[in-house]
Amino acid sequence: MSASGPLASSSAVVLFTDGACKGNPGPGGWGVWMQFGEAERELCGGEPETTNNRMELRAVIEGLNALTRSCQVEIHTDSQYVKNGIEQWLPNWKRKGWKTAAGKPVANQDLWLALESALARHTVRWFWVKGHAGNAGNERADALANKGVPQR
């Protein structure tokens, strides 16, 4: 089975995560579809005033924090911001005192720290999936994120 399929590895918990925002900033939601073997779980939530990037981060954080013990985890996200941020940019931000390459404060530092803490308990592999391109797991996470958006 391919890494973009519903279950990339039978020994890992698979998370499909997504964020949504109605206006940016505006009301936003996050969604997670979790799988382990035949078991699955859906999570969603939202905030009345947020950004899409914050909701993308929250989805991953909430999914990881829902795990009650250390696991092998495969995270499937359509957010280059989240995947590149954790895999490439975070060490430089920390080294530079939470400043970007342009010397500006890093946006969403609180959530990057929360994500780093949530990741520390698990062995994680990251997968990027193209959003809104027919990937069943991504489409399900997107629907959950939209469900989590608070109604005005």
110 in active site: no
Point out the catalytic residue in the list 18, 47, 62, 74.
18
18 in active site: yes
Point out the catalytic residue in the list 5, 19, 31, 47.
19
DSSP string, the chain: --TTSS-S-TTSEEEEEEEEESSSSEEEEEEEEEEETTEEEEEEEEEEEE-HHHHHHHHHHHHHHT-SS--EEEEEES-HHHHHIIIIIHHHHHHTTSB-TTSPBPTTHHHHHHHHHHHTTSEEEEEE--TTSS-HHHHHHHHHHHHHSPP-
Point out the catalytic residue in the list 38, 78, 85, 97.
78
Point out the catalytic residue in the list 47, 63, 142, 148.
142
Q: How far is CA 127 from CA 4, 17, 50, 100, 138, in A?
A: 8, 11, 25, 24, 11
Point out the catalytic residue in the list 46, 47, 56, 85.
56
Residues acting as catalytic residues: 18-19, 56, 78, 132, 142
